[in-house]
Structure 1
Amino acid sequence: MHLQNPHHDGLIITLFIANHYVRKILVDGGSSMNIIQDDVLKNMNIPETEITPRSFVLVGFSDETKNTPADIKLPIYIEGVNSFQNFCVIDNLSCCNVRHPWIHEMKVVASTYHQCINLPTPWGVVKIESDQEEARNCYTSSMKPAARQTIA
């Protein structure tokens, strides 16, 4: 499938989190917290005892608020680099399974123009390509249909 205007897509990647490959991860340098859906944790068979009840209020771009019931610390593995990250657990996160602002901590360089992230490792820089088709699907599914206006 040929995609036009790839430089306008969000960065959607797949990572190895807590011994599972997790798809539809939005690399969002503008987020202030790592977020994961509770359904993803259930699919990963993460025991509820690993989840810490803790409430956070998240404020979205359009000032909508969402309460998170819990958080969890999970290992992330990327091309030989391990990192433990705290995640806010949320019950609904549109089309993305995980949102990650961890890029700064791991010294990742994200490029929406090049549709990839570059991660420095002890063995050199690793390039992880964005899944543009998945990014388009996420964007399309998150758009609400416009309300029709009737002219009297």
Structure 2
Amino acid sequence: MSVSRIFAEEFDSKPKRIKGNILPILGFSDEDKIGTIRPHADALVVTLRIGGYEVRRVMVDQGSGADIMYPDLFRGLNLKLEDLTTYDSPLISFEGKVVIPKGQIRLLVQSGPEVVDVDFIVVDAYSPYTTIFTRPWLHALGAVSSTLHVKVKFHLGD
């Protein structure tokens, strides 16, 4: 059999079906920029349901690994210091200051129909945000975020 005939048979054959459950690729397009004001350097800020309450001013930070809760949200959720477990590793604030956490708490967080447990480190420091969500939350959802498009995407069933 000649090389050209092998080549022709190999590439003229019908595509083979891939078995398994394949999800569409998550991505962003120019259509996802519709409604955003450009150019911008805005943080990615969303609204989520945390501990059964709708919470605004939630910043999504891909560059961090610690989910942080600030005093406004802690008080707003009617949480008490007794609800916290020990967390004794210091953190560095946006101003570069060392912050000693008050403790840690696990709460349910709902994004659309998806619900995941999030371990928040509670700090007593100023922030314009109520909380910061990070890579562990994105990974738990299987989500992808884009600050350019000011969006978070994740699969919903099919």
Give TM-score, length-normalised by structure 1.
0.71
Alignment match, 1:107: 142
Alignment match, 2:155: 120
Inter-partner Cα distance in structure 1 for 2:115 and 2:37: 35
> Alpha-carbon deviation of 1:4?
3.9
Inter-partner Cα distance in structure 2 for 1:62 and 1:38: 17
> Alpha-carbon deviation of 1:51?
1.6
Among candidates 47, 50, 75, match of residue 14 of structure 1: 47
Among candidates 112, 115, 118, match of residue 79 of structure 1: 112
State the number of aligned residues: 122
3-state secondary structure, aligned to 2:129:
coil
Among candidates 103, 124, 127, match of residue 91 of structure 1: 124
Inter-CA distance 35–86: structure 2 relative to 1 (3 Å threshold):
same
Inter-partner Cα distance in structure 2 for 1:121 and 1:97: 26
> Alpha-carbon deviation of 1:63?
4.7
Q: Does 1:49 align with 2:82?
A: yes
> Alpha-carbon deviation of 1:64?
3.3
Inter-partner Cα distance in structure 1 for 2:130 and 2:101: 15
> Alpha-carbon deviation of 1:25?
0.5
How big is the alpha-carbon RMSD for the aligned residues of Structure 1 and Structure 2?
2.1
Alignment match, 2:62: 29
> Alpha-carbon deviation of 1:61?
6.3
2:104 and 2:121 in contact (8 A); partners too: yes
3-state secondary structure, aligned to 1:120:
coil
- Runs of at least 5 residues in structure 2 that lack an aligned partner in the other structure: 1-34
3-state secondary structure, aligned to 1:54:
coil
Alignment of 1:113-152 (within 5 A): 113-122=148-157, 124=158
* Structure 1 runs (4+) greater than 3 angstroms displaced: 60-64
Write out per-residue CA displacement over residues 127-150 of structure 1, whole angstroms, 9 at most, x where no aligned residue: xxxxxxxxxxxxxxxxxxxxxxxx
Inter-partner Cα distance in structure 2 for 1:61 and 1:103: 21
What is the percent sequence identity of the aligned residues?
A: 25
Inter-CA distance 7–111: structure 2 relative to 1 (3 Å threshold):
farther
The structure number with the bigger radius of gyration is 2
Higher mean displacement: 102-111 or 72-81: 102-111
> Alpha-carbon deviation of 1:43?
1.1
Inter-CA distance 49–61: structure 2 relative to 1 (3 Å threshold):
closer
